[in-house]
Amino acid sequence: MIARIFGRWVMLVLLLTPVLAQAEKLETLPVTRIAPNTYAVYGHIAQLNTQNRGFNGNAGFVVTTDGVVVIDALGTPLLGKRLLASIRKITNKPIRYLILTHNHPDHSYGTSALKDSGATVIAHAGTQDYLHSSDFESSVDYRREIIPQDMREFRAIAPDQAIDGDIFSKQVFRLGKHSFEVYNVDHHHSYGDLVIRQLPENILWIGDLAFNGRTTYIGDGHSGATLKGIDWLRSAFPDAKLMMPGHGKAQRPPFPMLQQTYRYVERLRTKMGQALEAGESLESAVDECDFPDWHKVPLYAENHRRNCSFVYREMEQEVFFAPETP
C-alpha cells in the first residue's frame, strides 16, 4: 500500500517536473505603468537580431474590473508567453481580448499564447489576406532562421473578430467600466491597421501610425495613407491624454512624434515626386535621397534607403494610374 502511494507520488512529480521547469525558465518582461490600470511593455529600438530575439516592438495591457485587454502580442510565441507571464505578475483576471494594431511580425507573432489563454483575437480584416500572402511566408521563414527556438511553436492565427467597414469607422468593445473603440485606419503601414481609443482614460494606442525615437519603416502599406491617418488622428482626438506607439515610449500632448513622422514621410514623397518629374531612375533617386538631419535617428541607416525606394515605386504607380486631366 505504502509502496503504491509512494509510486504514484513519484509519478506525479515526474509528470509535473517539465511543466514547473518551463514556468521557472519563463523570464518576465519589464512592465511600465503608464496610467491607472494601464501598462506598457517597451521593446528594444532595433531590428530583429539574436540579442533582442524579436523583442523590438511594444505591447501593453489594461486591467478592467471584468478582465484584461491586451494590445499587441510581441514578436514570437515565446515572447507571447513571456508577456502573459508578465501580466500574471500583476493580475490573475482572465485575458478577455487581444487587439492587434496590425499584422507585422513584431506585433503579432506572439498571438498563440494569448489566444490559448482564452483571449478573443480582434484584428483588421486585412490580416486574413496577410496570412495567405508570400510576405507572411517569407517573414515566418526569416524569423525561424534567426531565432528557431523562439519560433518553435509558431502558428498562424486568424482573427476571431475582423474589423473592416469604412475608413475611420469604429467598433466598440465594452469590458467592466472601460470601453475600447477600435478604428479601421486602412492599410497605411501593413495589410490592415487599427487605432484603439481606451476610455475613460482617453488613451490612444496608435500602432505604427507614428514612431517615437526611431526612423519609420515603409515596407508595405502606403505613405499617402500614413499622412491621411496622422491628419485624422490629430483632428479626431484633440483631447487625447496619452498616445502609445508601436515603437518607443508613450507620449503626452502635443505628441511631437506625430509631427516628426508626418514631416519625414511628407519629405520622402516630395523628394521622390521631384525625382520622378525630373525623369530620374530609381537608383539615382534613392542615391540622392539623403536626409542629413536624420542620420542620428535610430534605424535611419537600416530603413531609409528602403523607404525611399518604396515611396518612389509607389508614386510611380500613382502617376501611372492617375486620371488624365482634360
Other beta carbons less than 10 A from residue 2's beta carbon: 6
Nearer to Zn ion, 204 or 285 (CB): 204
For Zn ion, the binding residues in 237-276 under the rule CB under 5 A are: 246
- Shortest Å, Cβ 43 to Zn ion: 9
Query: For residues 88-147, which are near Zn ion according to CB under 5 A?
Result: 104, 106
Q: Least distance in Å: CB of 52 to Zn ion?
A: 13
> Are the CB atoms for 255 and 209 separated by under 8 Å?
no
Which residues are within 8 A (CB) of 183 and not within 5 positions of it... i.e. 6 or more apart? Answer: 168, 169, 170, 194, 195, 196, 197
Q: Which is nearer to Zn ion, 37 or 208 (CB)?
A: 208
Angle at 160 between CA 70 and CA 99, to 5 degrees: 20
CB of 55 to Zn ion, least distance (A): 12
**Coil vs helix vs strand at 276:** helix
Question: Would you say 193 or 208 has its CB closer to Zn ion?
Answer: 208
Q: How far is the CB of 106 from Zn ion (least distance, A)?
A: 5
CB of 266 to Zn ion, least distance (A): 20
Q: What single letter denotes the amino acid at residue 292?
A: P
Q: What is the nearest approach in angstroms of Zn ion to the Cβ of residue 211?
A: 8
| Best CA proximity match to 54, nearest among 43, 64, 63 | 43
| Alpha-carbon gap, residue 54 to 215, rounded angstroms | 18
**CA 204 – CA 243 distance, rounded (Å):** 5
In the bound state with Zn ion, the residue whose beta carbon lies nearer, of 114 and 275, is 114
- Scanning 54-62, 124-132, 156-164, 258-266 for contacts with Zn ion by CB under 5 A, the matching segment is 54-62
Which phi and psi (to 5°) does residue 253 adopt?
-55, 145
In contact, 223 and 314? CB cutoff 8 Å: yes
Find cell 515566418 and name the residue: 140
Residues 173-192 that bind Zn ion (CB under 5 A): none
Q: Which stretch binds Zn ion (CB under 5 A): 2-10, 50-58, 126-134, 136-144?
A: 50-58
> Please, which of residues 275-294 interact with Zn ion by CB under 5 A?
none
How many chain residues are in contact with Zn ion, going by CB under 5 A? 5
Cβ closest to Zn ion, residue 43 vs residue 67:
43
Nearer to Zn ion, 106 or 150 (CB): 106
Say how many residues make up the chain. 326
Residues 6+ apart with CB under 8 A from 181: 170, 171, 172, 196, 197, 199
Note whether 208 binds Zn ion by CB under 5 A: yes
- Residue 66: CB minimum distance to Zn ion, A: 29
Nearer to Zn ion, 135 or 208 (CB): 208
CA distance 311 to 309: 6
Binding residues (CB under 5 A) for Zn ion: these are 57, 104, 106, 208, 246
